[in-house]
Homo-oligomer: A and B are copies of this chain.
């Protein structure tokens, strides 16, 4: 896999999730799954409350009820738990990205798609977003690289949709910037809506959706009305 520093020449393999340790000591896979869920739920609560660095495997055992002697049958270490949580909450949450929603609902307006995207992200991905923004500095290099590749893939896919919609040139970087910005806006709810406890969630989603739509339409508009040409 090569570095994607310059241009859009990235052709490397993009992992569809972070690496999870293979642990096959436990024969009963459904029990193993259940224990792993217990461990991950407890770890998520602790990572968000105390932070990743301050949480010990001992803390996770205490809260999850999983014995310290057996926890390593289910997970490899604290970083392995974090990877499993990010896979579950950030990458594979069943919350479609905006370009996927636009594809699934071609009859809906952009604004309706944005509204759906934001409200789904803000409710279902809430903890995943907090976890991702707070723990990035604690990720190991390989994991950070994998997170970046995944983000870049989503940004590229979304940008393609916007370029098509707005009639932009294939090398116009603005579609990528807007895509990245929209992913960032999916974090607005989790990261900043606690400042709006007195405002209805619907009003917040509608206002931001209208704003994002205006942003994307501005891109299209800049193409539809080019500089006047000398005749």
Binding site for B on A (CB under 8 A): 4-8, 48-54, 133-134, 137-138, 148, 151-152, 155, 173-174, 176-178, 180-181, 183-185, 188, 191-199, 203-204, 207-208, 210-215, 217-219, 222
Contact = CB atoms under 8 A, between A and B. Distances in A.
Contacts of A184: 185, 188, 191-192
Contacts of A180: 192-193, 195-196
A51 B52 contact: yes
* A interface, over-half SS: helix
Contacts of A215: 210-212, 214-215
Contact of A176 (B51, B137, B199): B199
Contact of A208 (B137, B177, B192, B196): B177
Contacts of A174: 203, 207
Given A52-B51, A54-B53, A203 B188 contact: no
B181 A208 contact: yes
Given A54-B54, A176-B199, A184-B192, 11 more contacts: A5-B198, A49-B137, A53-B54, A148-B194, A152-B195, A173-B199, A180-B193, A180-B195, A180-B196, A181-B192, A184-B188
A188 B181 contact: yes
Contacts of A7: 198
Q: Which of A5, A50, A176, A177 has the most CB of B within 10 A?
A: A177
A173 B203 contact: yes
A50 B138 CA distance: 7
Nearest to A9: B198
